[in-house]
Amino acid sequence: MEVTLTVNGSQHSLEVAENTLLVDLLREHLRLTGTHVGCDTSQCGACTVHLDGRSVKSCSVLAAQADGAEITTIEGIGSPDDLHPMQAAFRECHALQCGFCTPGMIMSAIDLVQSSDDLDRRAVREGLEGNLCRCTGYHNIVDAVLRAAPQMK
């Protein structure tokens, strides 16, 4: 089937099998490998991208369901010379170790900041419930989100 969607600002029309997942469209068809697959069972959030501005686990969305949608991946939010405030805050706060969870963590954190009024440490931890990190213990991730939040307003 044909799927037409906008990814990081550019439109693509792709021929995919009906059972293609959004994450496979991104990684295999568009070679956007910044979006990771951790569990493939909707638990870990490593595959989080934005679909029409809201965070979703792209391993639990069919490419067909994203037809006509706007997708933003980690590749679409900043560049090495011009990091998104959330990316910069993750670097400054040492909010990553192996980095595997980081793309999903950052995409969730951006949605969390954009859709919340007041965030405190507890609200950030609860807001990142859908993202698992095996390395950091979350402490510095919470620091990073709270550092980036005012800069994004």
Partner 1 sequence: MYQFRYHKPATLEEAVDCYQSAEDGIYLAGGQTLLPTMKQRLAAPSDVIDLSAIDRLTGIEVTSDEVRVGAFTRHDEVARHEGIRRRLPVLAFLAAQIGDGQVRNRGTIGGSVANSDPAADYPAAVIGLGATINTNARQIAADDYFQDLFETALEPGEIITRIDFPVPSRAAYRKFPNPASRYAVVGVLVADFDGRIRVGITGAGPCAFRGTALEVALQGNLNSAAIEGVEVPDVGFNNDLHASAEYRAHLVKVMARRAIADLVG
Ligand X SMILES: Cc1cc2nc3c(=O)[nH]c(=O)nc-3n(C[C@H](O)[C@H](O)[C@H](O)COP(=O)(O)OP(=O)(O)OC[C@H]3O[C@@H](n4cnc5c(N)ncnc54)[C@H](O)[C@@H]3O)c2cc1C
Positions touching ligand X (CB under 6 A) are 42-43
**Binding string to partner 1 for residues 1 to 20, with x set by CB under 8 A, is what?**
x---------------xxx-
Residue number, 83 or 100, with CB nearest to ligand FES: 100
Under rule CB under 8 A, residue 137 binds partner 1: no
- Rounded Cα distance, 130 and 2, in Å: 30
19/17 Cα distance (integer angstroms):
5
Residue from 43, 62, 64, 92 touching ligand FES (CB under 6 A): that is 43
Q: State which of positions 72-91 bind partner 1 (CB under 8 A).
A: none
Contact pattern from residue 38 through residue 77 relative to partner 1, giving x for each residue in contact according to CB under 8 A and a dash for the rest = --xxxx-x--x--x--xxxx--xxx-xx-x----------
Q: Nearer Cβ to ligand FES, position 10 or 19?
A: 19
Closer to ligand X by CB, 85 or 127: give it.
127
Separation of CA 120 from chain center:
21
Q: Rounded to the nearest 10 degrees, what angle do helices 85-92 and 139-152 cross at? A: 140
Give Cα 9 distance to the centre of its chain: 16
**CA atoms of 57 and 150, how far apart (whole Å):** 26
Q: How many residues bind ligand FES (CB under 6 A)?
A: 22
In sequence order, what are the residues at sequence separation of 6 or more whose Cβ sits closer than 8 angstroms to the Cβ of residue 60?
21, 42
